[in-house]
Amino acid sequence: MSISRGRPPKADASSIDPLIRAAAADLLDSLAPTRRAARVAPAGPLRRAVLAVRLAEALEVLAAQAVDDARTRDGQTWAEVGDAFGVRPQTAQARFRLSPSELGT
Q: Give the predicted TM-score (pTM) of the model.
A: 0.73
Measured between alpha carbons, how far apart are the two ends of the chain, in Å? 35
- d(Cα 59, Cα 48) in Å, to the nearest integer? 16
Give the pLDDT score at 7.
Answer: 55
SS3 category, 104: coil
For residue 5, pLDDT beyond 80: no
- Residue 44's pLDDT band (boundaries 50, 70, 90)? confident
Give the pLDDT score at 39.
Answer: 84
For residue 48, pLDDT beyond 60: yes
Q: Are 88 and 82 in contact (CB under 8 A)?
A: yes
